[in-house]
Chain A
Amino acid sequence: MSFEINGHSFSQQPQTGQCLRTFLRELGHFGVKKGCDAGDCGACTVLLDGEPVHSCIIPAFRADGHAVTTIEGLASEVGIHPMQQAFLDAQGFQCGFCTSGMIVTCASLNQAQRADLGASLKGNLCRCTGYRTIEDALDGKSNVEDAEPGAAFGRSLPAPAGPQVVTGKARYTFDVAMDGLLHIKMLRSPHPHARIISIDSSAARAMPGVHAVLTHADTPTTLFSTARHEIDAMDPEDTRILDDTVRFIGQKVAAVVADSEAIAEEACRRIDVVYDILPAVFDPAAAVASGAPVIHPDKTPGHRVSNAIRNIVAETHGEFGDVAAALASSAVTYEGTFTTQRVQHGHLETHGGIAWLDAGGILNIRSSTQTPFLTRRALAQLYDLPSDKVRVFCERVGGGFGGKQEMFVEDILALAALKTGRPVKWELTREEQFIATSTRHPMRVTVKAGADKHGKLTALQLDVLSNTGAYGNHAGPVLFHACGESLGVYNCANKKVDAVVAYTNTVPAGAFRGYGLPQTLFAVEAAIDDLAKQLGISPYDFRRHNVIKPGDPMLSPAGTHYDDVTIGSYGLDQCLDLVERAMEIETKHDLDDDWLIGDGIALTMIDTVPPQGHIAEVVIAKRDDGGYDLTVGTAEFGNGTATVHRQIAATTLGCSVEQIHLRQSDTRNGGHDTGAYGSAGTFVAGKATHDAAQKLVAAMQADSNARSATGTSGGTPRSVAFNVQGFRVAVNKGTGAIKVLKSVQAADAGAVANPMQLRGQIEGGVAQSLGATLYEEMVIDDRGRVVNPKFRDYHLPSFADLPRTDVYFADTYDAIGPLGAKSMSESPYNPVAAAMGNALFDATGIRFTQVPFKPDRIFPELQKKFGKA
C-alpha cells in the first residue's frame, strides 16, 4: 500500500484495524484532532480525494491509492487557504481544538450547503464559540481591530495563536512526537461499590511489550483530593491514586504501561480482579437516609468529611431574621422544588498528558490542565519529590470549563514515568471522559420566597441537596458558592439556607463553569419571577426594587463568610435596562397556533475571584530586540487570556502587542499561579501583569538600566460582576418542541479589555448553558452505570441547535480589577436555565422545574393542560 498525504507519498503501513486519523497523526499530521473518536464531532475531518470525511471512522487501509488532504495541506506550500484566512479574520475559534476539522469542512461546502449550515455543519461540534463567529467566517466578516502602541486595552485584538490554530500547527497536549513513547490504558471497575480482594496481573505482565502494571499495591496510600485549590483544606481527603476499594463504575483499578495502546488494552483484558461486591446507593436522598450503604466509612471531620456515616461530605445551615414568620405574613409567597441533571463539560480535548524524566532527573509532565502549579505541588507531595524536581506545563489546552481544575491523570503519568524511566502518554477516551472524570453537581433545590404587597422581598430560603458522586472534589466549595451569590444579590431581611452534599456510588462531580450557581439560580430566579407575576409587577421592576445597590452588604446566611468582597463597580441596573430595551423589540415569526410564545429573564451576580486565595505572579523582562518577555502562569484553553495579558502589558508599557512575548503556564518559568479557574485569568493574573508592567515602567524611569519587574496579585479584595439574560421562546403545545426566538444577554464586566473576546465568552457561555438547559443529560441506570457515554447519545449543541445571542455591555470601571476590568468567563452561563424556565412559564403558565427541557419531558404537562397532540 502507498499513501499520498498532502501531496507527499508515504510508504509506512497502518495497523490492520487502525483508523485513518491515528495513522495520519502517527505520520506527524497533528492538525487532525481526536475529539470523540466515534464520528460525532468532526475534529478529525480530512479530505479524501477532495471530499470531506471523518478520518476516525475510515479504515486506514482504505486510503491506499487515494489522496488525503489534512488541514496542514489545505493551502498551497506558501500562503494560507482563503477559509483559513476567513477564520482568522472572524476569529472563528476559542480553544481552537475543533478548528482544523471545521475549516476543512467549511472549505469543502458548495453554495447549497452554505445556505443550509444547520444541516451541513451537524457533523462539526464546537464547544466554545456558540458558532456565531464560525458563521461570520463563512460570511466573510472580520471581527478584529488593530491598535496603536500603548492603546491595545479595549480593542478587539486577535488571539496571538490564531495563525497556528487555523493552520493546524498549534500544539495541543498530544501533538508532539517522542521517541520511545509508552502508552497507558486503565482497567476500570465494573462495579459501583466493591472491595478489591486480589489483582492477578501475571498474564498481563507476561505479555511482550508490557512494561508495567500499576495497582494500589504500587501507589502511596496518601489521601488527597483530585480538586485543585490554592488551599488544599477546601476539599476532603478521600481519594487515593489507586484504591483497594472502588466506589463507582469506571474507577481506576490497574494501569498498564505498554509499547502501544493496543498491547495495553489487551493486557487490561488479561488482568484478573476478584471483588467483594458491596451494597451501593445512587440517589443522594437515599444516600443521606439512615441505613444507607456508607461509602467512606473511615473518614472523619479530620479528613474534612462532615458526616461520613450519613454520606454527607459537607453541609451548611444558617438563618438570619425569621423566615417562617416572614413567609406567614407575606402578601405573596412561592415554594417550588427544582432539579438539575448531571452534565459533562464536553471540552473537545480529553484529559491526558505525557510524562518523562529528563537528563537532569526532573519529572516533566505536559498536561491538559487548568492548574499546572497546583498539580505540580500535589505531585511533589504525593511522591515526596522536591518541587524543583517536578515540572508541569501546558502549551495549548483544548477546552476546560472547570473539568481541568482537577488532577485526574498526572498522578498515574508520574508514577508510570518514574517506574519505567521512559516517556509515557495517557490520553483518555471520550467514554472515559463521561464515566470517570467529573461532571456538574446534580442538585435538588427547594426554594421558598415571599414579598409584601409593595413588591419588597420578605423572605428567601433554600434547601439544597447536592450529589457529589463517589468523591468529594469541589463538593463543599460548589455547595457554598451555590448558596452565596444567588441569595446575596437580593436585599431581604430574612434568609435561610440548609444545604447538604452527599456521596453516592456514581461518577464524581467536580468544578464546572458557574460552580453551583446555575443550579440554585434556576430555583431562586423562578421564585423571584413568580412573586413578580403574582403581584402584577414587571420582572424587571421587581428585580430593580430588590437587588443590592452600591454600598449594600451582600448577605447570605450560610457558608463561610467572607468580608473581602466589595462592589468595585455596579452595572446591574444597566444590565436590566439593556435587556429590557432589547426585549421590547418585537420578533417576527410565522409560527402557527400550536406555538405559545413567552418572555423570561434571570440575573446573576458572581464574585470576581474564588474565595480563600487566588495568587498570580508575573515577570516582565526587557528583551534585546526592544520587546518584552511576559511570563505568566495562567493557562490558555480558549478563555482568551493570552490576548488580554499582552494587551494589558502593551498598554501599560506603551508598546505594541507584537512586542510582548508571552511565556505561559509552565512551572519551570518560576513564580506561582493558582490557576485558570474561577474566571481569574484576567482579574487576578491580569492584575499581576498590570502590576509588573507598572513596576517596570517606574523602575525604568528611575534607572534606565532596569531590566525586569515582578508583579503579584493575591486575589483579594474581590469585586462582583453581573449578567442578565433574556429569552423569547415559542413552545409547541402539540410536540413540546422549543424554539428560541430571541436571546439577549447584558454583562457588567467592568472596563472591557477586548470586546470581541468578551462577546465570544458570553455567546459561548450561553451556548453551553443552552445545551444543559435543552438537551444534555447524563443518564445513570439503576446499577450506577452511565447509559450514554458518547456524543451520539449525549447531545452537545450543534450549529442548528443554537440561536444567536445579542450581547450588550454595561459601561462601568472597576475600582479593583486591572485597568477597570472584571472577570467574565463563567457567569454568562449562569442565568440561562433560569431565564428559559421563566420564559416557558410566561408562554404556557406551567412552571417546569426540571432541566433539560426536552420535548418528551415537558410534553406530558403540556398535554394535560392543552389537550391532545
Chain B
Amino acid sequence: MDLNTVTSVARPTTREQLPTWSAGDAWLAGGTWLFSEPQTHLTRLIDLTDLKWPALTVTDKELQIAATCTVAQLDALPCPPDWIASPLINQCCRAFLASFKIWKTATVGGNLCMSLPAGPMIALTAALDGVCTIWKADGSVDTIDVVDFVTGDQSNVLMPGDLLRSIAIPLAAFKRRSAFRQISLTPVGRSAALLIGSLDEDGLRLTITASTKRPVRIALPTLPDTDTFEEAILDRVPDNLYHDDVHGKPAWRKQMTLRLAEEIRAELQGFRP
C-alpha cells in the first residue's frame, strides 16, 4: 500500500554513507512487509539495495548470506552433493505463507528482522547454526547466534539504527542428516509449528520455531528415546512460551510440537549413523 507519510528515501552505497538514524526511519529491504501494513510513524526509508552486498558467498568454512539476499536467490543456490541438509532451504521457502511471487523481493535479513514466530528463514538459519553479523549504529560490528537474535514475537536484539549485515552458516551444518516438519491450520498456510532436527556424531539438535514465541534450540548428546525426548522438550519449553494468535492456539501448538518432534526423532533414528 502507499506509505503516504514517507517523504524521503535515502540510498546509501557504502557503510559510511548510512545516514544518522532518527525517529521515523526504517531500513527498506524487500519492503514486502513494510508495504503490506500502514506505517504512519515512518517518514524516511533507507534503501539497502544500493549497498550491493553480494547475495551469497561460499568460503571453505561457511556460507555467507547477505541480509539483502532474497528468498528466491537463496532457494536457487546450487548446493554440492555433500550438503545433505540443503533440501531444508526449499522446505523453508515453501513454509512461507507468501507465494513464490513474494520470494523474489522478500529478503532473508528482512525475515529475521521481522522476527515473527512463523519466520521460516529464522527456522532455517537457526537450525543450521547461523551466526548474525550486525552493523551497530555506533559504527561497531557485533555477532550473535540466530537463535539468540530473535527474542520474542516481533522482537530481537537490534537497537534503533542497528543493521543486520549477514548470516553465516558453517558448512558443517549442511553436512548433518536433518529432518523437517511443519504444520499449519490450513494446507499451505502460515506455520503454526516448524521444527527441524539434525543428527551427527555430536548428537541430536532440535530447533523449534513458529509454535514458540522465539526459536528454541535443544541439543542432546545422543539420539534419545521417545520419552526422554518429550521430557527434554517439556523441560525446555514452558507453556507460556507457546505462541498465541489466530494461526493456532497454544495448547494445540504444544501438542503439535511434541508430535512433530517425535516424527523427526523417528526419521533420524532410521538414518542413525
Please determine whether A16 and B7 come into contact, CB atoms closer than 8 angstroms: yes
CA of A18 to CA of B7, assembled, Å: 10
A124: which B residues are within 8 A, CB to CB?
99
CA of A199 to CA of B256, assembled, Å: 51
1/0 contact string of B232-271 vs chain A (CB within 8 Å): 0000000000000111110111011011000000000000
Of the listed stretches B60-68, B139-147, B156-164, B183-191, name the one at the interface; the rest are far from the partner chain: B183-191
A163 is an interface residue with CB less than 8 A from chain B: no
Please determine whether A859 and B101 come into contact, CB atoms closer than 8 angstroms: no
Within 8 A of B (CB), among A753-804: 774-775, 777, 779, 787-788, 792-795, 798, 800-801
B45 is an interface residue with CB less than 8 A from chain A: yes
How many residues belonging to B are interface residues under a CB distance threshold of 8 Å?
A: 48
> How many Å from the CB of A793 to the closest CB on chain B?
5
Asked, given contacts A15-B4, A57-B31, A801-B187, whether A42 binds B101 with beta carbons under 8 Å apart, the answer is yes
Within 8 A of B (CB), among A95-128: 105, 113, 118-124
Of the listed stretches B32-40, B80-88, B123-131, name the one at the interface; the rest are far from the partner chain: B32-40
Please determine whether B9 and A856 come into contact, CB atoms closer than 8 angstroms: no
Please determine whether A57 and B105 come into contact, CB atoms closer than 8 angstroms: yes
Total inter-chain residue pairs, C-beta < 8 Å: 146
Please determine whether B246 and A788 come into contact, CB atoms closer than 8 angstroms: yes
CA of A137 to CA of B100, assembled, Å: 21
Task: Give the residue of B35, B42, B252, B258 whose beta carbon is less than 8 angstroms from that of A859.
Answer: B252
A775: which B residues are within 8 A, CB to CB?
185-186
Please determine whether A45 and B101 come into contact, CB atoms closer than 8 angstroms: yes
Task: Give the residue of A17, A40, A52, A854 whose beta carbon is less than 8 angstroms from that of B4.
Answer: A17
A735: which B residues are within 8 A, CB to CB?
183, 256, 259
> How many Å from the CB of A262 to the closest CB on chain B?
4
B42: which A residues are within 8 A, CB to CB?
17
Please determine whether B259 and A800 come into contact, CB atoms closer than 8 angstroms: no
Closest to B6 in A: A17
B220 is an interface residue with CB less than 8 A from chain A: no
Task: Give the residue of B31, B32, B100, B105 whose beta carbon is less than 8 angstroms from that of A113.
Answer: B100
B255: which A residues are within 8 A, CB to CB?
859, 863, 869
A734 is an interface residue with CB less than 8 A from chain B: yes
Closest to A20 in B: B35
Task: Give the residue of B185, B187, B246 whose beta carbon is less than 8 angstroms from that of A779.
Answer: B246
CA of A51 to CA of B188, assembled, Å: 22
B98 is an interface residue with CB less than 8 A from chain A: yes
> How many Å from the CB of A270 to the closest CB on chain B?
12
Asked, given contacts A16-B9, A38-B1, whether A869 binds B258 with beta carbons under 8 Å apart, the answer is yes
CA of A798 to CA of B184, assembled, Å: 14
Please determine whether B94 and A119 come into contact, CB atoms closer than 8 angstroms: yes
Please determine whether A61 and B9 come into contact, CB atoms closer than 8 angstroms: yes
A410 is an interface residue with CB less than 8 A from chain B: no
Q: Pick the most buried of A38, A39, A121, A734: most chain B CB atoms within 10 A of its CB.
A: A39
A856: which B residues are within 8 A, CB to CB?
185, 192, 248-249, 251-253
Asked, given contacts A58-B105, A735-B183, A795-B185, whether A261 binds B99 with beta carbons under 8 Å apart, the answer is no
B165 is an interface residue with CB less than 8 A from chain A: no
B175 is an interface residue with CB less than 8 A from chain A: no
> How many Å from the CB of A404 to the closest CB on chain B?
23
1/0 contact string of A40-70 vs chain B (CB within 8 Å): 1010010000011110111101100000000
1/0 contact string of A242-273 vs chain B (CB within 8 Å): 00000000000000000001100110010000
A777: which B residues are within 8 A, CB to CB?
246
B136 is an interface residue with CB less than 8 A from chain A: no
B13 is an interface residue with CB less than 8 A from chain A: no
B101: which A residues are within 8 A, CB to CB?
42, 45, 51-54, 105, 123
Asked, given contacts A15-B4, A16-B6, A779-B246, whether A122 binds B188 with beta carbons under 8 Å apart, the answer is yes
Asked, given contacts A118-B188, A262-B2, whether A58 binds B45 with beta carbons under 8 Å apart, the answer is no
> How many Å from the CB of A114 to the closest CB on chain B?
12
Closest to B258 in A: A869
A22 is an interface residue with CB less than 8 A from chain B: yes
> How many Å from the CB of B92 to the closest CB on chain A?
14
1/0 contact string of A841-869 vs chain B (CB within 8 Å): 00000000000001111011001000001
A818: which B residues are within 8 A, CB to CB?
none
B46 is an interface residue with CB less than 8 A from chain A: no
A346 is an interface residue with CB less than 8 A from chain B: no
Please determine whether B45 and A39 come into contact, CB atoms closer than 8 angstroms: no
CA of A787 to CA of B245, assembled, Å: 9
B114 is an interface residue with CB less than 8 A from chain A: no
Please determine whether B246 and A120 come into contact, CB atoms closer than 8 angstroms: no
Please determine whether B259 and A734 come into contact, CB atoms closer than 8 angstroms: yes
Asked, given contacts A122-B188, A795-B189, whether A39 binds B259 with beta carbons under 8 Å apart, the answer is no
Task: Give the residue of B6, B31, B187, B252 whose beta carbon is less than 8 angstroms from that of A800.
Answer: B187
Please determine whether A38 and B36 come into contact, CB atoms closer than 8 angstroms: yes
Please determine whether B32 and A39 come into contact, CB atoms closer than 8 angstroms: yes
CA of A18 to CA of B28, assembled, Å: 14
> How many Å from the CB of A648 to the closest CB on chain B?
41
CA of A857 to CA of B5, assembled, Å: 41
Please determine whether B187 and A19 come into contact, CB atoms closer than 8 angstroms: no
1/0 contact string of B2-21 vs chain A (CB within 8 Å): 11111111000000000000
Closest to A121 in B: B99
Task: Give the residue of A38, A58, A120, A261 whose beta carbon is less than 8 angstroms from that of B100.
Answer: A120
B28: which A residues are within 8 A, CB to CB?
59
Please determine whether B6 and A19 come into contact, CB atoms closer than 8 angstroms: no
Closest to B189 in A: A795
CA of A681 to CA of B194, assembled, Å: 48
B219 is an interface residue with CB less than 8 A from chain A: no
CA of A855 to CA of B7, assembled, Å: 45
A395 is an interface residue with CB less than 8 A from chain B: no
> How many Å from the CB of A456 to the closest CB on chain B?
42
Please determine whether A269 and B2 come into contact, CB atoms closer than 8 angstroms: no
CA of A45 to CA of B100, assembled, Å: 12
CA of A17 to CA of B41, assembled, Å: 13
CA of A42 to CA of B7, assembled, Å: 27
Please determine whether A793 and B246 come into contact, CB atoms closer than 8 angstroms: yes
A673 is an interface residue with CB less than 8 A from chain B: no
A795: which B residues are within 8 A, CB to CB?
185-186, 189
Asked, given contacts A19-B35, A788-B246, whether A261 binds B4 with beta carbons under 8 Å apart, the answer is yes
B102 is an interface residue with CB less than 8 A from chain A: yes
B8: which A residues are within 8 A, CB to CB?
16
Closest to A860 in B: B251
Task: Give the residue of B9, B100, B259 whose beta carbon is less than 8 angstroms from that of A869.
Answer: B259
Q: Which 5 interchain pairs have the tightest Cβ spacing?
A: A123-B99, A17-B6, A17-B3, A856-B252, A262-B4
Chain B residues at the A interface, C-beta cutoff of 8 Å: 1-9, 28, 31-32, 35-37, 40, 42, 45, 49, 94, 97-102, 104-105, 183, 185-190, 192, 245-249, 251-253, 255-256, 258-259
Residue pairs across A and B with Cβ atoms less than 8 A apart, 25 shown, are A16-B9, A17-B6, A19-B1, A51-B101, A53-B101, A53-B102, A58-B31, A62-B49, A119-B99, A122-B99, A261-B4, A265-B40, A266-B5, A429-B1, A792-B97, A792-B190, A793-B247, A795-B185, A798-B186, A855-B252, A856-B192, A856-B252, A857-B249, A859-B252, A863-B255
**A58-B35, A735-B183 given. 8 additional CB < 8 A pairs?**
A17-B42, A19-B3, A57-B102, A62-B31, A795-B185, A798-B186, A798-B188, A869-B255
